[in-house]
Amino acid sequence: MERNELLELLTPEGLRLLDILSAEENPGDPVARVSRLRAAGHSPTLVAAALTQDRLRRKATGKFAEFAGRMLFTQAGLEQATRLRVAALHAGRFRELGATSLVDLGCGIGGDALAAAALGITVTAVERDEITATLASYNLAPFDNARVVHSPAEEIDLGAFDAIFLDPARRTAGHAETSRLTRAADYSPSLDFAFGLAETTPVGIKLGPGFDREDIPAGWEAQWITVDGQVVELGLWSPALARPGITRAALVIGADGMHELTAAEDSPDVDVRDLGEYIYEPDGSVIRARLIGDLARTLEAGMLSPGIAYLTGDLAADTPFAARFRVVERFSLDEKLLKRELRARDIGTLEVKKRGVDIDPAAFRKRMALKGKAAATLILTRIDGRHAALLVERA
């Protein structure tokens, strides 16, 4: 978003237009919408800004539910914003600590600050990008216990706050088409700065789920979070905010609620065993938290192969921490053989899962040239050191 677009959008005319667009149940053809709005006398800049906001608001309902209808976004800000369900969990940590004042460094469009303010915590949200800070101010305007400061995080006097939350910028600067920063040293603010704050103040940090585990400080709780099947973040909590006896956690949030595996440390893997009647595919948060061993023991399962995150067993156990498949047949990973077998079973829709093999599932599926009416799932992996293909069905 450019500054001139924001200025037009924040006028009475702009906000009225955005409300009108948001109320449309069926937006229709984008070109027709542009023509209609231009014919009504709105400037090209305002039309572009309002239509972009309407599109982002509709997309944002997945993260912010009904709150999205009164918020403003940039594309990058929405992509990086914490889902409201997860932000509420962050805020709950600070409330349980007894914090009454919180500074949110790198607040983005204000999702985490919004959740904390809703719990009655006085929030100072800090954002170094001027446009994003303006949007955060708009989004937090309903809360008289929240304010936004346009500043680099490193220049804020932090002595007056009970607790600190950081969401370091992990992408290049900009409001759209940003790219991910691959080195933690390039985050803003830096992690050295973030970790150093915990020497005097309780600190929570939101990071990407692929963050290098070797860089997690001793005594901190690391919680990986999955929402609707996608691992969305790693939350790091300094010792003052960590739960007693927990340094590793995998939280799975779905339509049936929240479920969590926790441990004092990484859990040791279980032994490899022969292929059983079922295959279990652990949730990504369980894998990243290295709690596969604990999960396996609850399922009475073993590892399918060393170093590969598939479990196998004969117990049909229900668990929110893994998908379960019943093994239909085992094949060698021979593409000509598999093509014949799938065609013989009239399979036309194929879900391909793989671990431990260097195969592109999309390219593999294309090479199978399937035309049947049935659907199936194929797991490509290693068993006993050999490549194998397992025809399975969800159970």
Q: Is the pLDDT of residue 176 over 70?
A: no
Q: Is the pLDDT of residue 57 over 70?
A: yes
Q: What's the pLDDT score for residue 139?
A: 97
Which H or E run contains 364?
helix 361-368
Q: Dump pLDDT digits (tens) for 354-381.
A: 999 999 999 999 999 999 999 999 999 9
User: pLDDT category, 1, cuts 50, 70, 90?
Assistant: confident
Neighbours of 94 (CB within 10 A): 24
Beta strand spans in 314-346 (E)? 322-332
Q: Is the pLDDT of residue 103 over 90?
A: yes
Q: What is the mean pLDDT of residues 174-203?
A: 79
Q: Dump pLDDT digits (tens) for 314-360.
A: 999 999 999 999 999 999 999 999 999 999 999 999 999 999 999 99
Concatenate the DSSP letters of all residues of 168-231 into one string: -B-B-SSSSS--B---GGGSBS-HHHHHHHTTTS-EEEEE-TT--GGGSPTT-EEEEEEETTEE
Given a contact cutoff of 8 angstroms between Cβ atoms, the answer to whether 9 and 46 are in contact is yes
Q: What is the mean pLDDT of residues 233-241?
A: 97
User: pLDDT category, 285, cuts 50, 70, 90?
Assistant: very high
Three-state DSSP at 251 gives: strand
User: pLDDT category, 169, cuts 50, 70, 90?
Assistant: confident
Domain boundary assignment for the chain = 3-59, 78-263, 278-394
Q: What's the pLDDT score for residue 183?
A: 66
Q: Is the pLDDT of residue 295 over 90?
A: yes
Whole-prediction pTM value? 0.91
β-pairing, 308-313 vs 302-305, is: antiparallel
Q: What's the pLDDT score for residue 182?
A: 60
Strand order in the sheet with 302-305: 302-305, 308-313, 278-282, 322-332, 386-394, 374-383, 347-354
Long-range pairs for 172-175: beta carbons < 8 A, 24 or more residues apart: 173/129, 174/76, 175/1, 175/74, 175/75, 175/76, 175/77, 175/129, 175/131, 175/132
Q: What's the pLDDT score for residue 213?
A: 93
Q: Is the pLDDT of residue 172 over 70?
A: no
Q: Dump pLDDT digits (tens) for 8-37.
A: 999 999 999 999 999 898 888 889 999 999
Q: How many helices (H) and strands (E) does the chain have?
A: 13, 16
Q: Is the pLDDT of residue 174 over 70?
A: no
Q: Is the pLDDT of residue 171 over 70?
A: no
Handedness of CA 379, 380, 381, 386 (dihedral sign): positive
Q: What's the pLDDT score for residue 179?
A: 63
Q: Dump pLDDT digits (tens) for 216-232.
A: 999 999 999 999 999 99
User: pLDDT category, 180, cuts 50, 70, 90?
Assistant: low
Q: Is the pLDDT of residue 42 over 70?
A: yes
CATH number for the segment(s) 78-263 = 3.40.50.150
Q: What's the pLDDT score for residue 385?
A: 86
User: Residue 355's closest CA among 321, 388, 320, 328?
Assistant: 388
Q: What's the pLDDT score for residue 118?
A: 96
Q: Is the pLDDT of residue 114 over 70?
A: yes
User: pLDDT category, 178, cuts 50, 70, 90?
Assistant: low
Mean pLDDT of the chain: 94
- Residue type present at position 7: L
β-pairing, 257-263 vs 278-282, is: unpaired
Given a contact cutoff of 8 angstroms between Cβ atoms, the answer to whether 190 and 202 are in contact is no
Q: Is the pLDDT of residue 112 over 90?
A: yes
